[in-house]
């Protein structure tokens, strides 16, 4: 079983919740990109959304894989993974910066808004408790 399918790990549970929220936000972001920058803005927004989602899933995958193994491995892989993901973002954005089929402004705006927006949005749903690591338990009608 892949580490990203084991929803018993808090980081995996949180990242898939963030991906779900990114899917909710996607139509709005794509529409804004299209309205402001046209088709190139739509493409830039879609590309930015994909990169942010890949970035978050990669981060959670690194933590989920290394956390059960060793704290030293966890810290080293989180630091190296951060640098790797920054390099990944650079390597995927730099070649298209001057391409005529994408709006770099839409791409960068979407990446900025989505990274920060999803993190702030998710704060409301994350439990800061050892009793419920990951997401807060959902309320039932009997509460």
In a domain, 139, yes or no: no
Q: What is the four-CA torsion angle of 30, 34, 35, 36, rounded to 10 degrees?
A: 100
Angle at alpha carbon of residue 114, lines to 111 and 119, rounded to 5°: 130
How many domains in the chain? 1
Structural domain boundaries enclosing 86: 10-125
The whole-angstrom separation of Cα 73 and Cα 67 is 8
Q: What is the pLDDT of residue 111?
A: 95
In a domain, 75, yes or no: yes
The whole-angstrom separation of Cα 98 and Cα 100 is 6
Query: CA of 22: how far to CAs of 10, 64, 98, 99, in Å?
Result: 18, 21, 26, 25
Strands (E), the chain: 126-127, 134-135
In a domain, 63, yes or no: yes
Those residues whose C-beta lies under 8 Å from the C-beta of residue 132, and which sit 6 or more positions away, are none
Global confidence as pTM: 0.84
Q: How many CB atoms lie within 10 A of CB 47?
A: 21
Q: What is the pLDDT of residue 62?
A: 92
Q: What is the pLDDT of residue 6?
A: 74
Mean pLDDT per 10-residue run, the chain (143 residues)? 74 89 95 96 96 94 91 94 95 93 95 93 76 67 54
Assign 45 to helix, strand or coil. helix
The whole-angstrom separation of Cα 49 and Cα 64 is 22
In a domain, 131, yes or no: no
In a domain, 58, yes or no: yes
Q: How many CB atoms lie within 10 A of CB 114?
A: 24
Q: What is the pLDDT of residue 90?
A: 96
Tell me the longest C-alpha to C-alpha distance in the chain.
Answer: 57
In a domain, 133, yes or no: no
């Amino acid at each position: 079983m892949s580490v990203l399918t084991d929803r018993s790990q808090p980081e995996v549970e949180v990242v898939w919740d963030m991906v779900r929220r990114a899917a909710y936000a996607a139509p709005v972001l794509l529409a804004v990109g299209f309205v402001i920058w046209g088709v190139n803005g739509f493409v830039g927004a879609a590309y930015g959304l994909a990169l942010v989602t890949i970035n978050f899933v990669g981060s959670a995958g690194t933590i989920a894989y290394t956390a059960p193994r060793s704290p030293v491995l966890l810290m080293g892989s989180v630091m190296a993974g951060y640098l790797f993901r920054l390099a990944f973002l650079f390597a995927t954005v730099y070649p298209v910066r001057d391409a005529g089929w994408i709006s770099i402004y839409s791409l960068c705006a979407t990446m900025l808004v989505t990274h920060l927006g999803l993190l702030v949005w998710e704060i409301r749903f994350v439990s800061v408790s050892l009793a419920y690591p990951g997401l807060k338990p959902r309320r039932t009608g009997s509460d």
